[in-house]
Amino acid sequence: MRPGALTVGTVNGAALLLSVAGFGATLWYGVDQPGNALAFGTLIALGELARWGAAPGEREPAPLAAAGALAYALLGTDAGTATTHGVLQTVAVVVAGGLAGIVPHLARGGGPDTDHLARRVLTAAFAALCFQPLYNSGAVVEHLGQGPPYAFFLLLLLVLTALCDAVLAAVLLRARTGFPFGPVLRDELRALLGIGSAVCATGAVMALAVAAAGLWALPVLAVPLLLTQVSFRRYAAVRTVNRQTIASLARATEIAGCTPHGHAHRVAALSAAVGRELGLSGTELTVLEYAALMHDIGQLSLVDPVEGGATALLPVEEQRRIALLGGEVVRRTGVPAAVALVVERQADPYREQPLPARIVRAVNAYDDLAGDGAGAALEALERLRLGTARDYHPDVVESLARVLARGGAPGVTSAVAG
């Protein structure tokens, strides 16, 4: 069994055991304050029902469900009345609401993967474990009261919970893909500044609002986030269409016979993996992937196609001319200017290139030079290493070698991995 599979199994197994314990304890002792449990379970289910498709790079496809789970974990009072649901009932309500919300998605053949559910359960359990025992014992109110110190305590718990979720996400992604843990964790931590901070803040505000005004505060706070979620879903759909359009444009060189079948896809996948290895994330990775998909589009402007589409074997001046032609084509497609810049600069000496252009150049050369066998792939890497004096940045070449040694990018078979 691969170590990555063992890690994923451990995380999912821990979430499953915790869920079973939560349901068992709740069934044995009964449901405390069933009105609260029903209200928050319904909120979590609605959040899962309204989830958007898990697009690449999407950190939280169901923010309303995540905020509802966090709010229930941090709920201490309901309109001034102390709550008694505890940690295990929190887990049971989060699992029940999540399962109720994903059933329609599963019926349509979609729905979240097990990693998403495991993270939700473990993160909610962590927040509840940090808050519920202290609050129910009276220690929080006794030492902090209900003023600014209490709000600071909640803020501290939110930060710890967000860090817990980021570490879990990085561990699972590392196990699934083989990407190095450091860059993956940095990527997850950067994402906390976006949807992660909004989810945490909304969850805390929900808990405080219910404590002061009762359950009537939930729909008031949930509707704006639900509308925002629907808007983001439409945005995600538009972004998916853009990605598909760019992928179609990239295939134009294959259809025209300018490049081998699958070349653009392989270069894009390997470039993204190398970019992660070198610490790129978010928008930088998107620009890199788009540029890698369209890096050969300048060949459509040539009268005589390059033999085999292997631009890495051409003279430097010819490579630059094709790159400039490609940049001009990309600018006419409406793609962000940063993508066109990478395409234009891919044939420059690496000391003059931005990092994405360095990556595209090295990966494109590797795919042009590598054959189907391990010997040709190793020879291609060696030729890249010999070209580090001027053409290929040494750090990029070594990062590419590490990615290939791990088996290449997801969906791309490597002959080097052995």
pLDDT at 215 (0 to 100): 87
Q: List average pLDDT for each run of 10 residues in the chain, which is 418 residues long.
A: 64 91 93 92 87 52 85 88 89 92 77 78 93 85 76 86 89 80 80 77 86 86 76 73 77 77 88 87 85 85 70 81 85 82 87 90 88 71 85 90 77 48
State the DSSP string of 62-78: -HHHHHHHHHHHT--EE
CB atoms near residue 227 (< 10 Å): 11
Output b/e per residue, 187-224; b: 16+ Cβ within 10 A.
bbbebbeebbebbbebbbebbbbbbeebbebbeebbee
pLDDT at 154 (0 to 100): 84
pLDDT at 54 (0 to 100): 46
Domain coordinates in residue numbering, the chain:
3-238, 256-405
Distances (CA, A) of 400 to 270, 276, 355: 8, 11, 13
**Gap between the Cα atoms of 193 and 202, Å rounded:** 14
Q: Are the beta carbons of 319 and 291 closer than 8 angstroms?
A: no
Domain 256-405 annotated CATH 1.10.3210.10: yes
pLDDT at 60 (0 to 100): 58
pLDDT at 175 (0 to 100): 82
pLDDT at 417 (0 to 100): 46
pLDDT at 411 (0 to 100): 52
Dihedral sign from CA coordinates of 267, 268, 273, 274 = positive
Dihedral sign from CA coordinates of 211, 214, 220, 222 = positive
**Gap between the Cα atoms of 222 and 114, Å rounded:** 25
Helix (H) or strand (E) holding 81: strand 81-82
The alpha-helical segments, DSSP class H, found in 178-299 are: 181-191, 197-213, 217-255, 263-277, 283-293
The rounded radius of gyration (Å) of the Cα atoms in the chain is 25
